[in-house]
Structure 1
Amino acid sequence: MTYNAEHVVQAQLDAYNQKDIDAWSNTYAPTAVQLLIDGTVLARGREAIKANIAERFKEPDLSAKLISRQVFDNVVIDHELITRNFDEGKGSVEMLCIYLVEDSVICRAEFKILNKIIFK
């Protein structure tokens, strides 16, 4: 392995927080897949992944805070707190994000929503 999986995932997180859609999507492989932990596919392929995030990047309060990270070779597991603008108002989603990194890009990302909190 000539790359550092943690650096790839950190670059993805940094681009997410900067709402830099090109930098963010380029951390994913052209054939990457994003899915929920139960196997539900959210998007398949870099272009579909990019299209899925485009609307979210318009949210004024969008940000991700890293709570903890574990790295096991080319697997990076992040525990994150995502702040978003939901239909119900501004809130946060606590998420578990599991990234599989190969050839310096994310080829698979699995997500588990742990808690959703709407600020009153």
Structure 2
Amino acid sequence: MHMPTPTDVVQAQLDAYNAHDVSALAAIYADHVQQFQHPDVLLAEGSAQIAARFTARFAASRPQARLLNRIACGKLVIDHEIVTSVTDAGTTEQELVATYEVVDGRIARAWFAFA
């Protein structure tokens, strides 16, 4: 079995996010993953915290990420996205840039910069 490319891994993450599939997302992230608000504010560390963040996010709204552009260079994949969230209060859109570092077929670190 071949190792998925970093782009394959990040696309699987985007697909699982849009499907609101916390189990699939947790499997895509490394056990000791770190998520940051760019550049260095730690948002979550470890697969349990990542799963808890996604569970809370999906309970609060039904977010859908639309990929605007993707750049891949070695183990880094950078996505420019618009995330649309629907809640009882209405619909919001958030533009962001997500940078993923893929190691051994899983996301090891991720940074999010919000417009």
Aligned residues: 114
What's the TM-score once normalised by structure 1's chain length?
A: 0.88
For 2:50 and 2:61, locate their aligned partners in 1 and report how far apart those are by CA, in whole Å.
20
The answer for the alignment partner of 1:31 in structure 2 is 32
Q: Is 2:109 the partner of 1:108?
A: yes
| Deviation by residue 1:72-105 (Cα, 9 ceiling, x = unmatched) | 0110000000011468531010000000000000
Mapping of 1:32-111 within 5 angstroms?
32-85=33-86, 89-111=90-112
Is the 1:25–1:46 contact (alpha carbons within 8 Å) kept by the matching residues of 2? yes
Counterpart code for 1:18: A
Q: Equivalent residue of 2:8, what SS?
A: helix
What's the TM-score once normalised by structure 2's chain length?
A: 0.92
| Deviation by residue 1:32-72 (Cα, 9 ceiling, x = unmatched) | 00001131000000110110110211245410000000000
Structure 1 gap segments, 5+ residues each: 115-120
Is the 1:61–1:90 contact (alpha carbons within 8 Å) kept by the matching residues of 2? no
Q: Equivalent residue of 1:55, what SS?
A: helix
Aligned CA-pair RMSD: 1.8
Structure 2 gap segments, 5+ residues each: none
Q: Is 2:7 the partner of 1:6?
A: yes
The answer for the alignment partner of 2:17 in structure 1 is 16
For 2:87 and 2:37, locate their aligned partners in 1 and report how far apart those are by CA, in whole Å.
19
Would the alpha carbon gap of residues 17 and 74 (structure 1) be closer, same or farther in structure 2, given more than 3 Å must change?
Answer: same
Is the 2:62–2:87 contact (alpha carbons within 8 Å) kept by the matching residues of 1? no
Q: Which stretch shows the higher mean deviation, 56-65 or 34-43?
A: 56-65
Q: Which stretch shows the higher mean deviation, 55-64 or 17-26?
A: 55-64
Q: Equivalent residue of 1:13, what SS?
A: helix
